[in-house]
Homo-oligomer: A and B are copies of this chain.
Amino acid sequence: MKEEQRITGLHGAGGEVMGEFLAERVLPKFGDRSSGRIGLEALDDGATIDLPTGAELVVTTDSHVVKPIFFPGGNIGTLAAAGTINDLAVMGAKPLALTLAAVIEERFPIGDFERILDAFAEVLDTVRVPLACGDTKVMPPGDVDGIVLNTTGIGAASPAIGDASFSPGDRVIVTGSIGDHGMALLAAREEFRLATALASDVAALWPLIECALSVGGVRAMKDPTRGGLAAAMNEMARKAHLCLEIDEPSIPVKDSVGGMADLLGISPYEVANEGKAILIVDADHANGILDVLKAHPLGADAALIGTVTDEHPGRVILATAVGGRRFLDMPLGDPVPRIC
């Protein structure tokens, strides 16, 4: 008898397995109509909806299952609000409103729920965005572990910016240090319980992205969450059928993050970031964009890390400090579950 196929952690881990699963099993069911210019099939950070008026709305949705719920640098509420705002921001969309749906385990402390809502509200305040509507469901113990949040964000763009409209010669920028969120979460996990100074980078990036957009020349953006920098850059390279050639020593990685990565044997390029974006910009604007990013508190560690080429279409190449070159592959998935 043929064994029934079952969902594994990799189906939701943002890497190679999830991508194939979506392409083969999910997208074909919804192929008959598209919401707008950038639809479901683009598998971008969000999708566009054409309005009768000709403007473009951007919509994005995410569930948040992070564990632990409270972590150095924030909590699941911070993550839900910032994560959704960032998905809008990297589409070039000014956030208009967010939704918040909570699924809560019975006997979850109301005080903890309020701290989560306070953190969510605090992020909305920083970008002056309203919560439009919400939903609360409670499940018996054993049916859900703690709390799961879902947020949808709606933004306005003119027009929306995808993640693949770039050309050879364009430059690659990251807005700050890589790997902070994932490594902080891992260190805080019960199985490690490491006392470190690591903290998540979780932050709402719209104010930073807005500055970059004002310079002009932004071709494509993406926030490197699940699967980290490696997954995000591979997705961009594949979609554009171009190569991202990255100068590894230019990638900002904090010493504490690099140390933890070595200790755990996990690449800092493969874990989630929650307050960083990758920008691909035209060469003429690269320095101007870098300057405005570095002038903003959220972009102080921004760096120019690479160039778009047509050498190995669909691949990401790391040029190492000693002159070597290697492919940075798409990770199979996040190294551990429930990172965001």
Contact = CB atoms under 8 A, between A and B. Distances in A.
Given A63-B150, A124-B30, A337 B131 contact: no
Nearest to A147: B7
A63 to B, nearest CB: 4
A142 to B, nearest CB: 7
B133 A97 contact: no
B12 A136 contact: yes
Nearest to A131: B30
Interface residues of A, number: 86
Contact of A34 (B13, B130, B148): B130
Given A65-B137, A134-B61, A106 B40 contact: no
Given A35-B132, A53-B53, A61 B22 contact: no
Q: Which of A34, A118, A132, A148 has the most CB of B within 10 A?
A: A132
A229 interface: no
Copies of this protein, total: 2
B136 A11 contact: yes
A138 B11 contact: yes
A25 B120 CA distance: 14
A7 B106 contact: yes
B47 A140 contact: no
B40 A104 contact: no
A105 B7 contact: yes
Contact of A154 (B13, B49, B125, B129): B49
A33 B128 contact: yes
Contacts of A137: 12, 63, 65
A145 interface: yes
A31 to B, nearest CB: 9
A314 interface: no
Contacts of A139: 65, 145, 337-338
A41 to B, nearest CB: 10
Contacts of A65: 103, 137, 139, 143-144
B59 A97 contact: yes
A210 to B, nearest CB: 16
A60 B93 CA distance: 20
A209 interface: no
A34 B67 CA distance: 31
Interface stretch (A108-116, A246-254, A304-312): A108-116
Contacts of A32: 125
B55 A52 contact: yes
A287 to B, nearest CB: 33
Contacts of A338: 139-140, 143
Contact of A144 (B125, B132, B148): B148
Given A10-B138, A26-B117, A47-B97, 15 more contacts: A5-B110, A7-B106, A7-B109, A11-B138, A30-B124, A35-B133, A47-B133, A51-B156, A53-B55, A59-B132, A61-B99, A103-B148, A139-B337, A142-B142, A148-B148
Closest 6 CB pairs of A and B: A12-B138, A150-B150, A152-B152, A61-B99, A35-B132, A143-B145
